[in-house]
């Protein structure tokens, strides 16, 4: 359920006056216990989203269903997740469209996987490769928990990305997204499975990784000149004349690198750079 009155089995986020979040799964006769008293699940079931549940000690809790971002930030994880600020960039800059065939590696804890699955829809397909079985298990559990089962348009696979062929995928893919320690070792695989014009993006955390992947893409001579950037997110506290930036911010998480596959046999134009003095 994404809308309508709350039903048993819904994941509901309770928010108190200090903006602290608590997640519960609604069950008839169930209770949520906190230092601010008890909230009965039966008081929430059947109510509309955006209502307030009152505890036995008189505390108010705002009730909403989990959004995808809430699920990602609260779900169990084995590997660090791709945070929403970067997932949003991947979806837009990577042009993840409805019906696209997308290949990702590694699957990690499944955070980006869920965004990809929602974007491509049942008309598309997402292939998620992961070399660690414990990480893949987290991804499968988290995706199943969010979608109520594994979507039919998802193929999670335990295996080495470097051994993938187009036969394994049932043909070439439209997009490739890599979140791994040494993505530069797999440029040939990306070239083989990605259609001409397809978008290739990587997610790397450190400057040496960034330098290696960009130079390897250039040396392959089958991709456009790569772009690279990071996204910094700073929230603001708005309270009249005391409006100011929050003291804490989501600063560096990773670098994103973007490029597109050239047609076979095409040599990329040499980028024009300013002469050094």
- Residues at the annotated binding site for S-adenosyl-L-methionine? 109-112, 130, 135, 160, 179
Q: Quick one: 195 exposed, middle or buried, by C-beta within 10 A (0-12, 13-18, 19+)? A: middle
**Binding site listing:** 109-112, 130, 135, 160, 179
> What is the C-alpha to C-alpha distance for residues 72 and 78, in angstroms, rounded to an integer?
13
Question: Per residue in 121-145, is it b (16+ CB within 10 Å) or e — as a string?
Answer: eeebbbbbbbeeeebbbbbbebbeb
> What is the C-alpha to C-alpha distance for residues 55 and 176, in angstroms, rounded to an integer?
48
> What is the C-alpha to C-alpha distance for residues 20 and 109, in angstroms, rounded to an integer?
24
Torsion of CA 37, 237, 203, 150, to 10 degrees: 30
Question: What is the SS3 assignment for 117?
Answer: helix
């Amino acid at each position: 359920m994404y809308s309508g009155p709350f039903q048993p089995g819904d994941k509901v986020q309770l928010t108190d006056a200090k903006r602290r979040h608590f997640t519960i799964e609604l069950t008839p006769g169930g209770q949520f216990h906190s230092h601010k008293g008890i909230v009965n699940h039966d008081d929430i079931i059947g109510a509309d989203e955006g209502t307030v549940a009152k505890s036995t000690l008189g505390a108010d809790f705002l009730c909403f269903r989990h959004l995808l971002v809430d699920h990602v930030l609260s779900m169990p994880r084995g590997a660090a997740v791709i945070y929403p600020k970067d997932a949003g960039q991947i979806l837009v800059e990577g042009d993840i469209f409805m019906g696209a065939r997308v290949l990702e590696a590694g699957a990690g804890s499944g955070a980006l996987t869920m965004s990809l699955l929602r974007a491509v829809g049942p008309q598309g397909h997402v292939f998620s490769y992961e070399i660690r079985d414990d990480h893949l298990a987290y991804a499968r559990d988290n995706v199943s928990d969010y979608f109520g089962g594994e979507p039919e348009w998802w193929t999670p696979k335990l295996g080495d990305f470097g051994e993938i062929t187009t036969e394994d995928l049932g043909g070439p893919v439209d997009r490739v997204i890599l979140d791994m320690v040494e993505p530069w070792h797999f440029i040939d695989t990306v070239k083989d499975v990605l259609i001409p014009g397809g978008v290739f993006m990587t997610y790397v955390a450190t400057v040496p990784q960034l330098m290696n992947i960009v130079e390897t893409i250039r040396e392959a001579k089958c991709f456009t000149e790569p772009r690279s950037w990071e996204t910094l997110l700073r929230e603001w506290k708005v309270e009249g004349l005391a409006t100011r930036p929050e003291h804490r911010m989501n600063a560096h998480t990773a670098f994103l690198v973007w490029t597109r596959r050239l047609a076979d046999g095409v040599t990329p134009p040499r980028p024009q750079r300013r002469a050094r003095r």
